[in-house]
Homo-oligomer: A and B are copies of this chain.
Amino acid sequence: MTITPEQQKEIEAARSNASQTLRPTVAKIEDILFNILPVLDHGFVRVIDYMGDDAAVIQAARVSYGRGTKKVSEDRGLIRYLMRHSHSTPFEMAEIKLHVKLPIFVARQWVRHRTASLNEYSARYSILDREFYIPETTQIAEQSKSNRQGRGNSVDREQAAQIIALLREDAERNYNHYAWMINEDERGDITDQNRSSLARELARINLTLSTYTQWYWKVNLHNLLHFLRLRADPHAQYEIRVYADEILKIVASWVPLTHEAFLDFRLNSVTLSAQAVDVLQAFVGGNRVSRETSGLSAREWEELLSRFPALKALPNP
């Protein structure tokens, strides 16, 4: 990840500029505000602004005149109650704004979350940085056999090295041709006075999906948790999951009670289908059920057993 001295100076200037406010503040977020939190080889997440905290959720749920909080145990209980019963609107009352640098193929997944505000760096107007995502060797894996849209076993080291070399060479060559076509260096100076400068909006189409872009992303806590539920999940592609993991840590600092409730009632919860409830109910009552009579598909059955390994130890019907 490359930060220019100018960018570093801008960040420091922003961090040196404190004011008084009557709004709720969160010390742990103030501590990291504007700082670069690195993700992948050239990416980052930066917290630019935030509104509210755990108490803001409570305040809105109570439509209160003041801060609305009571004892910590009551506040925690209310937040857990709201999360458990999918009373989602109070969680919309806190908001966060992030500056994110990320590869374009990750951006394409990210943007499918429509309920957020977004300003992306414009490649019609500006020149993109010479930065591409190149996976580490440990990430070079085969198409999964079981999960038809994910990764399976590692690729052997030699072939992995070939793949990495290809990804790097192609990204760099295409960027070099991009720079040649726009006829500008990275500061925007004309390279060759005798050539035309191709419109940036056209030249960029030569870049690979591994090229980095960046954006400002602003989202409320409810929609952020929904994003995290899908993207911090093991089924999400690794390259977006590492962003979700980094943001989940920010959430833990920002709204610890909500974060705890989110882990318990969402991220680490298990949803049982009507059929799975019957199976489990039978087991608890001492009646063994076979996969065939359960009404579950092979995959659901497997998932149930992986969540409740004790079931496997029980004698078959």
Contact = CB atoms under 8 A, between A and B. Distances in A.
Interface of A: 3, 6-7, 9-11, 13-15, 17-25, 30, 33-34, 48-52, 56, 59-61, 63-67, 77, 80, 84-86, 89-90, 92-93, 95, 97, 99, 103-105, 107-108, 111-112, 114-115, 117-122, 124-125, 133, 135, 139-144, 148-153, 155-156, 159, 163, 166-167, 170-171, 173-174, 177, 180-182, 195-202, 204-210, 214-216, 218, 220, 230, 235, 237, 263-265, 268-275, 277, 280-281, 283-286, 297, 300, 307-311, 313-314
Contacts of A207: 208-209
A20 to B, nearest CB: 5
Given A51-B51, A209-B206, A272-B269, A182 B143 contact: yes
A67 B14 contact: yes
Contact of A230 (B86, B140, B199, B268): B86
Integer count of this chain's copies in the complex? 4
A107 B135 CA distance: 25
5 contacts: A20-B21, A23-B50, A84-B300, A142-B199, A284-B311
Contacts of A25: 19-21
Given A214-B63, A216-B60, A269-B277, A159 B205 contact: no
Nearest to A156: B196
A68 B285 CA distance: 43
A284 B46 CA distance: 45
A139 B202 contact: yes
A269 to B, nearest CB: 5
| Max chain B Cβ within 10 angstroms of own Cβ: one of A141, A151, A216, A275 | A216
Nearest to A148: B125
Contacts of A107: 108
Which 4 A-B pairs rank lowest in CB-CB distance, beginning with the nearest?
A10-B66, A285-B310, A92-B117, A268-B274
A220 B21 CA distance: 20
A270 B269 contact: no
Nearest to A96: B51
Contacts of A9: 66
B67 A13 contact: yes
Contacts of A264: 273-275
